[in-house]
Amino acid sequence: MNTEWKPRAPSAHCYECGSMDVVAVCHHCGRPMCREHGVSAEVAQRSTEFTGLNLDNVTAWHCTEHDHTVDGGLRWLMISGAAAAVLGIIFLVGTAYWVGGSLAGAGGAGATLGYVISHRRRSRATHARPPFPLVPTIESISLTESVHADIRFDEVAGYQVKKLPATGRLTVDMLLRQADRDRLDRYREKYRLAAEEPVPVSIGFVMLRGPVGLEFDNRHATVPVFALPSRVSDLPFLASGGARDRRYQIDLTHHLRPGLEIDSIPLWLTPALVAESDRRTLELDVGWDKDFGYEDRALEIDRVNEIRLIAPVGWGAVRAIELDEGVQASRRSFGRKPDPDDPDEVVHLIRMSDLRLPKAVKERCRLRVVVHFEGRVETADSIRGSIDLRFRHALSGVSEVQVYHALGGPRRPPRGGTTATGRKSGIATTLTADFSLSLAKVRYQDALMVPDPREPTSDSKLMELEGVIPDHRTVAALTDALSDNNCYVKRVVENPGSNGPSVDEVRRYWDISGRYYERLFPIEFRITLTGNEFRADGDPVRGNTTVAVAVRGVYTDDPRVTEEPGMQQIIKNTWKNLCAQTRRALEESKASRQLG
């Protein structure tokens, strides 16, 4: 049996029992704790560690190892002793020597003992004082991870993708308050610190929830929990005489842990020329993998931040840009601009930003961008550009960023919430790519109609056949002849005949449609017969017929770049052959009726 070791990302859990239900961290060491194994107490009830700092309504949390009580001074003993000594002196003055001496001696001893013990406690508290607890307002929390790639497609090397290692950035923006300045003054007074004495600051802790498959580039920040230490001198708002800059930001970069890096980028870009557009419309198909993400948790596409497309000016001006139904772009712009890579050159620069995707597009994992040009798109050229997609959740597996108080309790998230899903948390993954796509191998599909009604010079002559009676016998002979020549007749429609100028004259109209196959490509044809039928004693005796033949086929090649007959030429040849077959079949039908 083969054993395969697979790297796993650490997760925040209680230091004692391993429970994932973490409610606080120890404000001394930052250990995560569940409710059962965390020791908590209101500041005003348990200890004098933070009393007098306007934190009486805050809960202080300790692990078992750091559970302690900081006792206050024995002021009551000193006051009581001093009062007893004074009372004793009064009795001594009143000649009550025994009572006065006892009270004065006991009071003096009590006051002295209280002073000594209080002095020692203050010395111990000052020596082991906690860092100054800073409680700024949390404005925003953001964890964004990025994957970048370079995509190239050319006629020789084909489709190539070069991926860079994934990177990330964690930012927490906070705002210092006047209450923090006032608390610092109380802190200095409480611990008898001089104004110039350095004061360490604790801003709290940051905990990353979920499987934390990342490592910070700053090695002082450990995962999944790390402290936010600082000094008063580093915070101008708190430092005496400093600038009144209230903002404080945590800004850390990170990378994915070894073994958790993705193997390939789940993005595909496919250019195409839109069928039946006369080579004037370019389509860029953007596809992504629905299973993109950390292990078994796929990242959900949120929106497309930006699409930038660079095209040659030789294709003519951009007439319009189309997106899939329901896709909304906050901004679109296009026009002639200097090439970002070569300012001396002029190109078409097309930009679309903040594209909101409907549910259907997200589920299909595919977005179409269609650009219409005035001129023709040349397959000898290429297109360049960049694309930026945003996904919900983090590639590393982090599901939530939680900030904890300097005393260990959880802080309220910024307005809007920091849920494990959705944009409110600011947790996202961006997928960006620069691309250069050659159109040399792009297949173009268009439809050719012969005769072409858009071109007055195209072959559009009608066949005038004297003596051919446009009745059902003639039509049957024609359909039989077509079938014998590999033509599939799908439908024969006769419009009701109408009376002509004379009593024995009937006007006929027949519509024959079908399909002819060449190289497995279908070519649709339509043959219309119109004419007059003359009767004698109720039977047709003579007539004249006008025939129109039209074909329509789809081609994907260009006869200008190949020596073999292209599909366009085959469509034209099919029209000529059908015209000849129709004329021959109708002439033969006329001759056989005359002989009969």
Per residue in 83-132, pLDDT (tens digit) is 655 555 665 555 555 555 565 556 556 556 555 555 555 554 444 578 88
Residue with tokens 């949120």: 302
395 token code pair: 């590639």
pLDDT higher than 70, residue 532: yes
**Arithmetic mean of pLDDT over the chain:** 81
The better pLDDT of the pair 22, 273 is held by 22
Tell whether 589 and 450 lie within a shared domain: yes
Cα Rg of the chain (Å, integer): 44
Residues 6 or more apart in contact with residue 76 via CB below 8 angstroms = 114
DSSP bridge partners of 401: 208
Tell whether 463 and 331 lie within a shared domain: no
Contact 527, 581 (CB under 8 A): no
Helix (H, G, I), strand (E, B) or coil at 244: coil
pLDDT higher than 80, residue 44: no
The better pLDDT of the pair 373, 196 is held by 373
Tell whether 450 and 583 lie within a shared domain: yes
Choosing from 86, 108, 130, the residue where a domain stops is 130
Is residue 2 included in any domain, yes or no?
Answer: no
Torsions phi, psi for 273 (to 5 deg): -100, 125
**Which CA distances in Å does 226 have to 61, 175, 222, 250, 410?**
16, 20, 5, 12, 14
Is residue 179 included in any domain, yes or no?
Answer: no
Residue with tokens 């900030």: 403
Is residue 483 included in any domain, yes or no?
Answer: yes
Is residue 173 included in any domain, yes or no?
Answer: no
Tell whether 337 and 461 lie within a shared domain: no
Pick the closest to residue 248 from 177, 308, 183, 182 (CA basis): 177
Using CA atoms, how far apart are residues 517 and 521, in angstroms rounded to an integer?
6
Is residue 156 included in any domain, yes or no?
Answer: no
Which residue pairs from 417-426 have beta carbons closer than 8 angstroms and sit at least 24 positions apart in sequence?
A: 418/141, 420/209, 420/210, 421/300, 421/392, 421/393, 422/392, 423/302, 423/392, 425/141, 425/400, 425/401, 426/140, 426/141, 426/142, 426/143, 426/144, 426/401
Name the percent of the chain lying above pLDDT 90. 33
Per-residue pLDDT band for 563 (boundaries 50, 70, 90) equals very low
Per-residue pLDDT band for 521 (boundaries 50, 70, 90) equals low
Tell whether 281 and 363 lie within a shared domain: yes
Is residue 335 included in any domain, yes or no?
Answer: yes
Q: Give the model confidence (pLDDT) of 399-428 as tens digits.
A: 899 999 988 899 887 765 443 333 345 899
Residues 6 or more apart in contact with residue 584 via CB below 8 angstroms = 481
Tell whether 470 and 588 lie within a shared domain: yes
Q: What is the DSSP letter of 506?
A: E
The one-letter code for the residue type at 184 is L
Tell whether 282 and 385 lie within a shared domain: yes
Tell whether 571 and 450 lie within a shared domain: yes
Is residue 467 included in any domain, yes or no?
Answer: yes
CA dihedral 447, 448, 452, 457 (to 10 degrees): 130
Residue 426's pLDDT is 84
Q: pTM to 2 decimals?
A: 0.69
Is residue 574 included in any domain, yes or no?
Answer: yes
Beta strands 505-518; 487-499: pairing state? antiparallel
CATH code of the domain containing 485: 3.30.310
Using CA atoms, how far apart are residues 591 and 382, in angstroms rounded to an integer?
60
Using CA atoms, how far apart are residues 378 and 430, in angstroms rounded to an integer?
33
**Which CA distances in Å does 535 have to 498, 505, 539?**
13, 6, 5
Helix (H, G, I), strand (E, B) or coil at 69: coil
Pick the closest to residue 577 from 496, 471, 481, 511 (CA basis): 481
Torsions phi, psi for 531 (to 5 deg): 170, -175
Residue 96's pLDDT is 58
E-assigned strand segments in 155-246: 158-163, 167-175, 200-209, 214-216, 225-231
Choosing from 130, 146, 169, the residue where a domain stops is 130
Choosing from 392, 415, 438, the residue where a domain stops is 392
The better pLDDT of the pair 32, 122 is held by 32
Q: Give the model confidence (pLDDT) of 131-143 as tens digits.
A: 889 889 999 999 9
309 token code pair: 């497309």
Pick the closest to residue 311 from 273, 270, 349 (CA basis): 349
Contact 310, 349 (CB under 8 A): yes
Residue 420's pLDDT is 36
Mean pLDDT of 180-205: 85
Mean pLDDT of 244-260: 86
95: domain range? 75-130
Using CA atoms, how far apart are residues 177 and 187, in angstroms rounded to an integer?
16
Residue 456's pLDDT is 60
In a 13 Å sphere around the CA of 184, the CA atoms on its Cβ side amount to 27
Per-residue pLDDT band for 167 (boundaries 50, 70, 90) equals very high
Burial profile 381-408: b = 16 or more Cβ within 10 angstroms, e = fewer: ebbbbbbbbbbbbbbbbbbbbbbbbbbb
Per-residue pLDDT band for 337 (boundaries 50, 70, 90) equals very high
Tell whether 346 and 485 lie within a shared domain: no
Work out how many domains the chain is built from and give that number: 3
Mean pLDDT of 542-549: 91
pLDDT higher than 90, residue 449: no
Per-residue pLDDT band for 146 (boundaries 50, 70, 90) equals very high
